[in-house]
Amino acid sequence: MEVVIWRDSVAMGDDIEAPHEWVVPVAADAAIGAVVEEMLRVGYLASIAGGRATWIVEGAQPLAVVAQQWAAPRWLADPELPVSTVRRPDGRPDLQIRYWCQADPDRVFDSLRTGAPLPDRYGG
């Protein structure tokens, strides 16, 4: 099976390499946590100057928050879920990684966990 991962661009220079799509062959029972760990291991997410990028990992729903300044993702879903259970039924990428700029990742995580509105990604 293949998982398609797509991430947002972080800046105009990053757009040169867009679209940021990565097709990853995985076993049908591969855990979503293992797929995200591989994504981090290979450096798929862009790093930004200042070291404070915040990312939201989504399947059919938000799954985790990844922050450049954190050592590990913070999970909203069970990272042991098989990746086959989080595939999007509407044809969009299986995993979308949304760049939430330099918003406080703790606030982003808490908002997603509680259902509160997300903080402004641009800090305004």
pLDDT, tens digit (0-9, with 9 covering 90-100), for 36-49: 999 899 887 877 77
Token pair listed for 104: 């406080």
Strand 2-7 with 20-25, pairing:
antiparallel
100 pLDDT more than 80: yes
DSSP symbol at 116: P
pTM of the model: 0.87
Q: How far is CA 55 from CA 34, 65, 67, 113, in A?
A: 17, 6, 6, 15
Q: Of 67, 40, 61, 45, which is closest to residue 113 (Cα–Cα)? A: 61
pLDDT, tens digit (0-9, with 9 covering 90-100), for 48-74: 777 789 999 999 899 999 999 999 999
Domains and CATH numbers, the chain: 2-114 (3.10.20)
State how far Cα 35 lies from the chain centre. 11
